[in-house]
Amino acid sequence: MPKSIFWSRTDTAGSEQVLLDDGNGLAARGTLLAVDPIPWTARYRVTTAPDWSTTRVEVEAEGSGWLRRVTLERATGRWRVTTAEQGDLDAALVAAGHPRAGLPGTDDPDRLADALDVDLSGSPLFNALPFHRLGMAAQAADMPRRITVAWVLLPGLEVVPAEQTYTGLGPGRVRFASGTFTADIDVDADGYVVRYPGLAERIDRR
């Protein structure tokens, strides 16, 4: 993997590091760590087609006494979602005073039929996928692009469809919106997040 990016979380104690090759679409593997709602580590692999539409994502999330995995594969216009679980994440959440996470994956992959992108919650890397696929760097400013993504929630790994909007704000900046949430994200010349207000900031080598 010829490139490496590191982000520090600004919403909680945590970080993300990814190794990637974006010479023909994207192939990447990364690790996220966070302490909320309970301490967890997640490892992922993501592969896209040359047009940056997502073809496969594998995520493994682990904490004290539990481990979950989910794999999403897209072929012939449909998503296949498989899961595995060891231990009891819900018991760990309840013991820490948090609601249960529910089951990993989805009971109806057809709900994801319109999604060409996967978004992993808390990961700045995954904003680059629709940014590239939609050609945001060449888009005129203030032209919103609405998409559906397969949103993988951490740490529970539930998979749900989510509506998102990307709007170019000029060179190096894009507005992300989903529901009532909005953030003006700074990106570099390659479309990777430099600063995501309220979530993360990239840490470069000194």
Q: What is the pLDDT of residues 138-187, one digit of tens each?
A: 877 888 999 999 999 999 999 999 999 999 998 899 999 999 999 999 99
Span 182-193, average pLDDT: 95
pLDDT tier, 205 (very low <50, low <70, confident <90, very high otherwise): confident
Q: What is the pTM of this model?
A: 0.95
Beta-bridge mates of residue 168:
174
Q: What pLDDT is recorded for position 138? A: 80
Return the amino acid letter for 191: G
CA proximity to 70, closest of 98, 102, 100, 99: 102
- The whole-angstrom separation of Cα 91 and Cα 99 is 10
Q: And the tokens for 61?
A: 């999330």
Q: Which residue, chain included where needed, has tokens 């469809």? A: 161
Looking only at Cα atoms, what is the longest distance across the chain? 50
Return the amino acid letter for 61: A
In three-state secondary structure terms, 17 is strand
Q: And the tokens for 205?
A: 């080598």
Encode pLDDT of 46-100 as tens digits: 999 999 999 999 999 999 999 999 999 999 889 999 999 999 999 999 999 999 9
- The whole-angstrom separation of Cα 57 and Cα 81 is 10
- The whole-angstrom separation of Cα 14 and Cα 80 is 30
